[in-house]
C-alpha cells in the first residue's frame, strides 16, 4: 500500500475525498440499480455494480495518467482539443434523434466498443481549460473587447450553441462557469455585462425559432419549458412526478435513514441510480448521511481553493478553479433538484451516480487539479503574479 501511495502525487486530501466518494458510491448504485432490473428489465444488480466498478477503475486510471502531465502542457492540448470537440458536438447533433428508441441528441455511439459517450461533458472540461489559458495570456494587459471576440468568445458561443439544443442545463451551467472564470481572471467587468445580455438574447432567439419551426432541428425546448412551468406553478408533469417521489424518499429517511439497500422509493423513482440518487441516499442513510455527503463536496471545494491559491502560475490558479468549481456546483445542483429548490435538470451527482461519461470527465478534471497541485518546474512567463488579481483576493478571503 505504501508503495502505491508513493506514486500518487499532488494534494493528498483531494485524493482521499475522491477515493471516499467513489467507494461510497457502490452502496447507493447497487441499491438503486434494482430499479433498472425489476422495473425497466435491464440486466442484473450485480452486472450494474460490476459496470460501475469498471467505470470507476478506468476513471482512476484517467486521474493517474492526467495528474502526471505538467500543468502548462494543458494550454497546448486545449488548443488542439477545441476543434475536436466542435466536430464531435456537430456529429452528435447530426447523427439522428434516437439510439435504440431513446433520445440520442446528447450521445454518440462508439462503434468498436459499443458504448455511448456524452460529448458535452468533454467539451465543458476542454472549454474551461481553454478559457483559463486565454485569461492567463492577457493577465498583464488591458484589452479591447474586439481583441477577445474571436480568440475567446467565438469558441465559447460555438460550443454552448451546439450543446444548447439537447442539453439546456449543461449549456447554462457552462456559460455561468465561463463568466465566473472570466471575472476571477480579471476580464473587464463592463464587457461581461454585454456578454450576459448577448447570451440571453441568443437564448430567446433560439427558443422563438424552435417554437416557430418545430422539427427543423433536434431540440428539447418544450421539455425545458414544461419543467420550468411545473416548478413555478405546480402543474403535473414528468418532472413533477419525479420530484414528488424524491420528496417522499427524503421524508421517509428521517434522521438516520432506513438502512443500506432498504429504499422503497427506488422502485418508483425514475433515474434513481443517476439524477435522483441523492434522494435514495437520504432515504437509506438519513439526514446525517445526506449532510455528510455534502460535507465531502464542500471539503473538495475548500481543497480546490487551497490548491489554486498555492499554485505559482496564473494559468495554474485559473485552470484549477475552472475545472474544479463545476464539479462542486453540479453536485449542489443535483442535491437542490432532489429537494425541489431547482427545476429538474438531469445533472448527475459527481463520482456517485452511475454513468460512464460523467464519471470519466469528472476524473479528467480531478486529474488536472492534482497536476496543478504537484511540485513542478516554474515556467518563466508564468511566475509573476499580480497581487491585486481578483482570484487571489477571493482565495485569500476563502
Predicted confidence (pLDDT) per residue in 220-231, tens digit: 666 666 666 666
By percentage, how much of the chain surpasses pLDDT 90? Answer: 44
In this prediction the pTM is 0.87
Stretch 63-69: mean pLDDT: 93
Instruction: Give the confidence band of 253 by pLDDT, cuts at 50, 70, 90.
Output: confident
Q: Is the dihedral of CA 59, 333, 157, 166 positive or negative?
A: positive
Q: Span 287-299, mean pLDDT?
A: 95
Cα 151 off chain centre by = 24
Whether the per-residue pLDDT at 161 is higher than 60: the answer is yes
Domain map of the chain by residue range? Answer: 8-397
Residue 300 confidence (pLDDT) above 60: yes
Residue listed under C-alpha cell 440518487? 277
Phi, psi of 297 (to 5 degrees): -70, -40
Write out pLDDT tens, residues 88-136: 998 888 775 444 444 456 777 766 555 677 888 999 999 999 999 999 9
Residue 138 has pLDDT above 90, yes or no: no
**Structural contact between residues 123 and 163, judged by C-beta atoms closer than 8 angstroms:** yes
Q: Per-residue confidence at 271, pLDDT binned at 50, 70, 90?
A: confident
CB-CB contact of 127 with 178 (8 Å): yes
Answer with the residue of higher pLDDT: 82 or 275: 82
Distance, C-alpha 254 to centroid of its chain: 29
How far apart are the C-alpha atoms of 248 and 244, rounded to whole Å?
6
Tell whether the model's pLDDT for residue 67 goes beyond 50.
yes
Amino acid at each position: 500500500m505504501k508503495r502505491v501511495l508513493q506514486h500518487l502525487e499532488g494534494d493528498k486530501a483531494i485524493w482521499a475525498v475522491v477515493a471516499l466518494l467513489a467507494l461510497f458510491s457502490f452502496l447507493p448504485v447497487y441499491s438503486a440499480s434494482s430499479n433498472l432490473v425489476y422495473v425497466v428489465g435491464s440486466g442484473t444488480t450485480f452486472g450494474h455494480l460490476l459496470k460501475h466498478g469498471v467505470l470507476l477503475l478506468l476513471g482512476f486510471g484517467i486521474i493517474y495518467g492526467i495528474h502526471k502531465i505538467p500543468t502548462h502542457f494543458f494550454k497546448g492540448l486545449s488548443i488542439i482539443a477545441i476543434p475536436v470537440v466542435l466536430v464531435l458536438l456537430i456529429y452528435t447533433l447530426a447523427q439522428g434523434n434516437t439510439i435504440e428508441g431513446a433520445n440520442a441528441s446528447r450521445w454518440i455511439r462508439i462503434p468498436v466498443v459499443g458504448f455511448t459517450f456524452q460529448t458535452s461533458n468533454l467539451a465543458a472540461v476542454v472549454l474551461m481549460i481553454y478559457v483559463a489559458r486565454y485569461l492567463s495570456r492577457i493577465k498583464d494587459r488591458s484589452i479591447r473587447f474586439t481583441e477577445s471576440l474571436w480568440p475567446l468568445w467565438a469558441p465559447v458561443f460555438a460550443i454552448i450553441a451546439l450543446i444548447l439544443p439537447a442539453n439546456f442545463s449543461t449549456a447554462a451551467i457552462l456559460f455561468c462557469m465561463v463568466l465566473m472564470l472570466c471575472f476571477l481572471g480579471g476580464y473587464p467587468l463592463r464587457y461581461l455585462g454585454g456578454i450576459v445580455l448577448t447570451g440571453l438574447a441568443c437564448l430567446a432567439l433560439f427558443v422563438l425559432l424552435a417554437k416557430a419551426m418545430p422539427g427543423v432541428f433536434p431540440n428539447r425546448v418544450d421539455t425545458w419549458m414544461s419543467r420550468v412551468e411545473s416548478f413555478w406553478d405546480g402543474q403535473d408533469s414528468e418532472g413533477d412526478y419525479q420530484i414528488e417521489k424524491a420528496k417522499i424518499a427524503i421524508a421517509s429517511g428521517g434522521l438516520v435513514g432506513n438502512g443500506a439497500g432498504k429504499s422503497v422509493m427506488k422502485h418508483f423513482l425514475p433515474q434513481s441510480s443517476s439524477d435522483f440518487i441523492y434522494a435514495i441516499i437520504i432515504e437509506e442513510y438519513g439526514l446525517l448521511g445526506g449532510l455528510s455527503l455534502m460535507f465531502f463536496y464542500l471539503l473538495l471545494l475548500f481543497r480546490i481553493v487551497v490548491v489554486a491559491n498555492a499554485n505559482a502560475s496564473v494559468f495554474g490558479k485559473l485552470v484549477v478553479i475552472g475545472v474544479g468549481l463545476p464539479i462542486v456546483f453540479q453536485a449542489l445542483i443535483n442535491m437542490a433538484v432532489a429537494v425541489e429548490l431547482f427545476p429538474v435538470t438531469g445533472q448527475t451527482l459527481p463520482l456517485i451516480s452511475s454513468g460512464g461519461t460523467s464519471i470519466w470527465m469528472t476524473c479528467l478534471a480531478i486529474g488536472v487539479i492534482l497536476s496543478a497541485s504537484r511540485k513542478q518546474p516554474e515556467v518563466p512567463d508564468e511566475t509573476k503574479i499580480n497581487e491585486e488579481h481578483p482570484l487571489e483576493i477571493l482565495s485569500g478571503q476563502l
